[in-house]
Structure 1
Amino acid sequence: MADSGSEDIAVIGNTDLTPSESENNLKNTMAEKGTSLLKMMEISVAEAEKRTGKNAVNMQETYTVYLIETRPVDAASEGTNPVPDSLWRRYSEFELLRNYLLVTYPFLVVPPLPEKRAEFVWHKLSADNMDPDFVERRRVGLENFLLRVASHPDLSSDKIFYSFLTEENGWKETVFETGFQAKADSRLKALNATFRVKNPDKRFAEMKHYGDELQSVISQLLRVRARAADRLYGVYKVHGNYGRVFSEWSAIEKEMGDGLQSAGHHMDAYAASVDDILEEEEHYADQLKEYLFYADALRAVCRKHELTQYELEMAAQDLTSKKQQREELATGMIRTFSLKGMTSKLFGQETPEQREAKLKMLETQIEEGEELVKERNAECEEFVKSAWVDIERFKEQKDHDLREALISYAIMQISMCKKGIQVWNNAKECFSKM
């Protein structure tokens, strides 16, 4: 679903360069071209493999690793087909990459990962995260995640993302050296900002509400689809009973036997086809699930804006308080109740020297506060500008992807119904020949 692009680009596969020089060459080329990594590098998650090893507490565990393959796009245009560079990654490493992107680019709608464990499953579908079918769908989802990031106008040029694709060893250490974990906002801090911000931006408030509604609607749609899959599976399999009955009936009939036997074969084939149909349906469900998780990424941007706005308001409020203290100290008039004011009344006024020292300290604090408010205001304005550009990009992508997915799903359903009609038309012909 991510755009792979087809423009001519500069060579990035010079084998005479060191890894560091190669990376710098790639970044410089991308900066010059203003293009995404996906237009310069083919990226795929080629396969999944189950492995057994020991975890952090030295206990045996079974886990899945995924093979990431990359190669320069220009190799194909030159008619060469070199062996792709490859490395293995666990799902937890994909999670680490995304957490880093969330913290580093709080103003962007960061693409989501596929589900770690199956949700909205119908009765025949396994919820086991080691089930081969689920692992295969997750492989497809992880590849789509990489393609989304690699085609993003900002995320695609991130150095850590490039290292994730090209450096098998030492990648985690490089991520942790960025200190992104220390920059992560706590849930309590974000919740506090949500309830205490005084002047929320109406656009972001509406977008956050839209994210809630989008997630709710897609959740309902996936639940309906799971129930429909259960019923569809039952209907198809019941046709297998038709096949059994017609076959048994054909054994006791001489004139009608061949027709009944043929009709039974059509019913058996129809009953068996449901497995492939529902497997194909599952891929459309996964496309909907991507936007179920995208809704949370959208809300994360809105929550970060609330926090940015809240920090600005707190800085402005503190500056106002300092200025009021300066005025009260200069005039000797206490306008608001305070512990310091009561202390002055009970134990006498401060000396001129003490008041002068406090005024000097307040002046310094006010200068620092004005600078902080200026910085916070600039940060907030820059956040709004960058976030809204990316939200508009996301909305355009969402509209296109969901429209295509729903149209394809409708086409698949029409095809499925036509097959059902054809089965009964074939059965009708069999009965006519008896």
Structure 2
Amino acid sequence: MADVERQDAAAAEEAMAEDKTNTGADEASCLMKRMDVSVPEAEKRTGKNAVNMQETYTVYLIESRPSAAVSGGRSCPPDSLWRRYSEFELLRNYLLVTYPFIVVPPLPEKRAEFVWHKLSADNMDPDFVERRRVGLENFLLRVASHPVIANDKVLLHFLTEDRGWKELVHETGFEGKVDSRLRALNATFRVKNPDKHFTEMKHYSDELQSIISQLLRLRVRVADRLYGVYKVHGNYGRVFSEWSAIEKEMGDGLQSAGHHMDAYSSSVDDILEEEEHYADQLKEYLFFAEALRAVCRKHELAQYELEAALMDLTSKKQQREELTTGMLRTFSFKGMTSKLFGQETLEQRDARLKMLEEQIVEGEETVQQKTADREEHMCCAWEDMQRFRGQKARDLREALINYTHMQMNMCRKGILVWTNAKECFSKM
């Protein structure tokens, strides 16, 4: 874990240096360099679903326009189309299967999680829909700025073609390439020689998810307490206002102090809404942890398939040796039947030997291909993990610093309220 953390810090420094000096081909080919993408609004609609039942759903407007038109000052109208959340899910599933070595950016939560009790957990709630709109826009900006994913033609069709993009994504046949959970589970528990770096990264992603989950739970508890503190100030405001009605000499001071308390109490909604923005940034990396584990699981599966191919090839070579020398090294059903019913004929032996030779050639080709697949995945995945670590360090540092500033400003407002109240009391 210490190695991973040191690599995170190094990756962050490298990424910051690249931000200042990188003018390479990756940036030039990035979709964000050629197109401005946004999700400016969401809309609630009613229609019929696949089983012909009435349903209410939300669609999100995607606008895109060439960056050259924007930088040139031309008023080029943007291409616009509407997408449902399920279509974003289909796009991400396609990217996960097509680019197994990429830490694919996550989608925002489908249903509200880690919410404090005064907020609605309804996925049709306007505030939640607005936060999800922001999250979907962030997802598109991340994939459109990725040096590899950004050049995918299905992504481009998703952003620019109102019709036909689903047919295009299904034509890729990505559904048939989806790894079953059983295969992934077998690979996790049966792989003999996992790569040390991927094992450490998998453990790191588990710990990252656990720590962020704890942070979000603590934030919910703090939000509940904060709401209570602000509402207590509302009670102060009500009491001071009622008190001012029965006091002649102190009435103005009490009423002014009550107004300060009321204003402070009513500001809690805006503060907690801003806090939700920072919570959503943490949630993104909560889901990023699962994307990181998906890359590690793909490596385990590639390693498991290579080891299985090697074992099969070794078995075939051993059978050839036994058949050639006539010496059985291990117990086999074929050897037992030969002892019971007599040796096979020379023609049968030659036929078996020929078949084994063909299987060995095929096995060697399979091992060679599996080795190449594993090495390619390791190389590409490690490169993308380096990119991800730099991005994560920058994003979380910025989010936590901004959250600290917000808390400091909130405390200053509280001090100011009581300072103003003190002045009101002093003038009585």
The TM-score by the shorter chain falls in which range? over 0.9
SS at match of 1:87: strand
Verify the 8 A CA contact 2:27 2:33 in the aligned structure 1: no
Query: 2: distance between equivalents of 1:99 and 1:340?
Result: 46
Q: Which residue of 1 aligns with 2:266?
A: 272
Query: 2: distance between equivalents of 1:172 and 1:369?
Result: 38
Query: 1: distance between equivalents of 2:131 and 2:186?
Result: 38
Letter of the 1:277 partner, please give it: I
Q: Which residue of 2 aligns with 1:353?
A: 347
Verify the 8 A CA contact 1:322 1:365 in the aligned structure 2: yes
Q: CA deviation at 1:78?
A: 1.3
SS at match of 1:344: helix
Q: Which residue of 2 aligns with 1:412?
A: 406
SS at match of 1:308: helix
Query: 1: distance between equivalents of 2:322 and 2:46?
Result: 71
Query: 2: distance between equivalents of 1:31 and 1:210?
Result: 31
**4+ aligned runs moved over 2 Å, structure 1:** 30-35
SS at match of 2:29: coil
Q: Which residue of 1 aligns with 2:257?
A: 263
Distance 1:31 1:409, change over 3 A: closer
Q: Which residue of 1 aligns with 2:390?
A: 396
Q: CA deviation at 1:35?
A: 2.6
Q: CA deviation at 1:229?
A: 0.2
Q: Name which of 329, 338, 341 aligns with 2:332.
A: 338
Verify the 8 A CA contact 1:6 1:39 in the aligned structure 2: no
Q: CA deviation at 1:170?
A: 1.2
Q: Which has the higher contact order (CA 8 A, sep 6+)?
A: 2
Letter of the 1:146 partner, please give it: L
Q: Name which of 223, 242, 246 aligns with 1:252.
A: 246
Q: CA deviation at 1:353?
A: 1.0
Q: Which residue of 2 aligns with 1:386?
A: 380
- Can you give the 5+ residue segments of structure 1 that lack an aligned partner in the other structure? 10-29
Q: Which residue of 2 aligns with 1:365?
A: 359
| Deviation by residue 1:64-114 (Cα, 9 ceiling, x = unmatched) | 000000011111221112111100000000000000000000011000000
Q: Name which of 65, 69, 86 aligns with 1:71.
A: 65
Q: Which residue of 2 aligns with 1:204?
A: 198
| TM-score, length basis structure 2 | 0.94
| Deviation by residue 1:390-416 (Cα, 9 ceiling, x = unmatched) | 000000000000000000000000000
How many pairs are equivalent?
Answer: 410
Verify the 8 A CA contact 2:27 2:147 in the aligned structure 1: no
Q: Which residue of 2 aligns with 1:25?
A: none
Distance 1:222 1:368, change over 3 A: same
Q: Using the aligned pairs only, state the percent identity.
A: 78
Distance 1:6 1:211, change over 3 A: closer
Query: 1: distance between equivalents of 2:208 and 2:294?
Result: 14
Letter of the 1:298 partner, please give it: L
Letter of the 1:269 partner, please give it: A
Q: Which residue of 2 aligns with 1:240?
A: 234
Q: Which residue of 2 aligns with 1:221?
A: 215
Q: Name which of 62, 77, 80 aligns with 1:86.
A: 80
Tell me the C-alpha RMSD between the 2 structures.
Answer: 1.6
Query: 2: distance between equivalents of 1:353 and 1:142?
Result: 67
1:54-133 equivalences in 2 (<5 Å): 54-133=48-127
Q: CA deviation at 1:31?
A: 7.3
Letter of the 2:341 partner, please give it: F
Verify the 8 A CA contact 2:191 2:303 in the aligned structure 1: yes
SS at match of 1:57: coil
SS at match of 1:421: helix
1:281 and 2:243 are equivalent in the alignment: no
Letter of the 1:380 partner, please give it: R
| TM-score, length basis structure 1 | 0.93
Query: 2: distance between equivalents of 1:341 and 1:125?
Result: 72
